[in-house]
Amino acid sequence: MKFFADTAEIADIKELAATGLLDGVTTNPSLIMKSGRDFIEVTKEICGIVDGPVSAEVVALDHDGMMKEAEKLRKIADNVCIKVPLTIDGLKTCKALTSDGTMVNVTLCFSANQALLAAKAGATFVSPFVGRHDDNGFDGMELISDIRLIFDNYDFGTEILVASVRHGIHVLQAAKIGADVMTAPPAVIRGLVKHVLTDKGIEGFLADWAKTGQTI
């Protein structure tokens, strides 16, 4: 499963990229706002740090507007992935862009039927939001299972990009189901390495090593 970081913070992206764990980055207007930086500028910098897809989201709601914004965004770098909402105009834009060889991430997916539409429109990625789905009384991971089944039934090439990931259990379940990608805040990705027994093991080894009086 590919790991994307859901952030526009350059320091976090550089840190994760240095581990070799990072396969891409997703951004959205809210994350750009939190970064306090110019949208084009920060997107270009991120594209220079990671080799994989960097999702940059349009804000227009009509097809013509989305296409005009996408034209500007895809000039930033070859690894820009245009992010569009799961609406009729978004799907129309998705079809037009992917037919032209541009990567597209169809976002704000909350049903398997929506994911099916995104796949039929040729989406590179579809982003079901599991955390927000859970928040509203639904089972986010059941949604991922349904989408995986449908995509496998018809051999769709669209990758399932699990979004709105809140914790390590979401990551584990997504991997077990067979999701192609998960995107999570840097804190969630860093948290995956943590285990109390790992910490205790290191503590014990260091204590014993100190008793030897040796150095390496």
Pick the closest to residue 25 from 7, 48, 12, 45 (CA basis).
Answer: 7
Share of the chain above pLDDT 90, in %: 97
Share of the chain above pLDDT 70, in %: 100
The model's confidence at residue 21, banded by pLDDT at 50, 70 and 90, is very high
Please say if the pLDDT value at position 155 is more than 90. yes
Residues ≥6 apart with Cβ < 8 Å to 205: none
* Catalytic residue (choose from 34, 72, 83, 92): 83
Q: Which two tokens stand for residue 46?
A: 């991120």
Please say if the pLDDT value at position 52 is more than 90. yes
User: What average pLDDT does the structure give for the chain?
Assistant: 96
Residue 14 among the catalytic residues: no
Please say if the pLDDT value at position 133 is more than 90. no
Q: What is the mean pLDDT of residues 141-168?
A: 97
Whole-number Å distance between alpha carbons of 136 and 162: 17
Which pLDDT tens digit goes with each residue over 65-122? 999 999 999 999 999 999 999 999 999 999 999 999 999 999 999 999 999 999 999 9
The model's confidence at residue 8, banded by pLDDT at 50, 70 and 90, is very high
Q: Which two tokens stand for residue 30?
A: 């809210």
Q: What is the pLDDT of residue 95?
A: 98
Pick the closest to residue 185 from 3, 5, 21 (CA basis).
Answer: 5
Whole-number Å distance between alpha carbons of 25 and 114: 23
Matching CATH number, 2-212, of 3.40.50.300, 2.40.40.20, 3.60.21.10, 3.20.20.70: 3.20.20.70
Count of alpha carbons within 13 Å of 186, Cβ hemisphere only? 16
Predicted TM-score (pTM) above 0.85: yes
Residue ranges of the domains in the chain? 2-212
The answer to whether residues 55 and 26 touch, using CB atoms and an 8 Å cutoff, is yes
Pick the closest to residue 7 from 156, 130, 187, 212 (CA basis).
Answer: 187
Whole-number Å distance between alpha carbons of 63 and 51: 29
Q: What is the pLDDT of residue 68?
A: 98
**DSSP secondary structure string for all residues of 172-200:** HHHHHHT-SEEEE-HHHHHHTT--HHHHH
In whole angstroms, how far apart are CA 114 and each of 54, 117, 147?
22, 5, 9
